[in-house]
Chains A and B, each alone.
Chain A
Amino acid sequence: MSGPVLEVRELTVRYGGTLGCDAVSFDVHEGEVLGIVGESGSGKSTVLGCCGLDLHPSGGWVRLSGMDTAGVVGAQRRRLRNEGIGIVRQAAHEELRLEISAGGNIVERLLATGYRGFQAIRDRAERVYTEVELPAGRMDAAVATFSGGMRQRVQIARALVSEPAVLLLDEPTTGLDVSVQARILDLIRGLQRRTGVAMVVVSHDLAVIRMLADQLLVMRDGRVVESGVTDRVLSDPRHPYTQLLVSSRLEV
């Protein structure tokens, strides 16, 4: 087996006096899905921010496909982010340009990495557009005219177009209608199985985690309190906080 696609060691982030996350370590290999659960402020988004190269760690390191990301700055960092990482956020407008067409949002990452043939990028955009099951004939419509579920699909297509090594999902279905949420989860799960892309899913929703993740980190106050194979952590939680979390869920 080749080395991990994403390697995080002793990751620590301080926001001034407060601790974003403290000594978090994990590996994600190709084909694996890691879930991170915890309530707001537990540090899960901070960890994801470091993996997505949005944040700089105060301590520890993040390696992407074996490369230490600490020394990668400026244009190289942007390139690594565009080529190596796909990101799907809860709020689509943080990742998408709403006034730009779905196709435009999808090809932007290709343009940023130097693709200059119109037909070539258009064809690639059409492929992923179809793959995420967006309605035919709307690819040139502005994303502002899309529903919440469709925007998440555009985000997923945008994330996957560069065939990244890692896909980072930050509460990908939170805030969507239940039926839309279910279909987006199906899509993510199916894409993951087909492409084998390594994924990190952050969610406060245990049902999402149970459906997608093989392995799980439970975070609280910036620290990992429990980790392991997903069904083990959820069916035999040992830390008091995990027990509370599991017993608090309405239905998984």
Chain B
Amino acid sequence: MLRIRGLSKSFTNHLRGGDTRAVLSQVDLDVAAGQCVVLTGASGSGKSSLLRCVYGSYTVDAGRIELDTPSGVADLAAVPDRELIRIRREHVGMVTQFLSVPPRISAVDLVTEQGVPAAWATELLTDLGLQPELHGLAPATFSGGERQLVNIAIALARPRPLLLLDEITASLDHGRRSTVLSVLRERKESGTALLAIFHELPDHPGLIDEVCQLAAGRLKETV
């Protein structure tokens, strides 16, 4: 599904005299359909940067990010902007702990905006554990955990074959965390590829297939 080869990324900060800092060096990583790969590593090791390179939020310096799509293999490191937007809509979903949704549109409307029927949106929000009485309300009034459920629902609304998950359970309490992880496992079992970062590795049977550790922008070992 996803093949990353020789991926390198650095930032040049012109506001600090052009100081260049490498965040990823020569990363190779594969994620197969129906597989869940988890990235671990210390803060600043490049985990989030790797996800953002895959999603196209960061421009890469070198390397290839190949994604299998029905119309062929797309190199996410090199696709034109318009194509990247289309691939995101159809093939790649991303959820972060920060991703903010427009706060004044109702939860169910935010999900249906992804192009799914309202009934399906309601069902998804319910599956993720958002109380039905909140579905018609805007996330502005929600707690951090409830907002996060809406974020996740937006990414899951369409059957996107690849999901990038950046500490999405950090703000959830224990019960909700378990519900969300079950939904993710179901998705994985039906063929979705997951590339995830967790604050602490969840003890959820059958979810995680592989753990890759990053240190200083390099892939150390595969567990």
Contacts and interface: CB of A to CB of B under 8 A. Distances in A.
Interface of A: 29, 32, 182-183, 185-186, 189-190, 193, 211, 214-215, 228-229, 231-232, 235-236, 238-240, 243-244, 247
Given A232-B59, A238-B59, A182 B104 contact: yes
B14 A240 contact: yes
Mostly, the A contact residues are: helix
B14 A232 contact: no
Interface in B66-123: 81-82, 84-85, 102-105, 113
Contacts, number: 49
Contacts of A211: 102
B57 A235 contact: yes
Top 7 A-B pairs, shortest CB-CB distance: A240-B14, A236-B58, A235-B57, A229-B81, A186-B104, A231-B57, A243-B14
B15 A243 contact: yes
B57 A236 contact: yes
B85 A186 contact: no
A193 B12 CA distance: 36
Nearest to B82: A29
Nearest to A252: B100
Interface residues of B, number: 19
Given A232-B56, A244-B15, 15 more contacts: A29-B82, A182-B103, A183-B104, A189-B105, A193-B113, A211-B102, A215-B81, A215-B82, A228-B59, A229-B84, A232-B59, A236-B11, A239-B14, A240-B14, A243-B14
Contact of A190 (B56, B57, B85, B105): B105
Interface in B38-67: 52, 56-59
A186 B102 CA distance: 8
B116 to A, nearest CB: 13
B143 interface: no
A232 B81 CA distance: 10
Contacts of B59: 228, 232, 236, 238
Contacts of A215: 81-82, 85
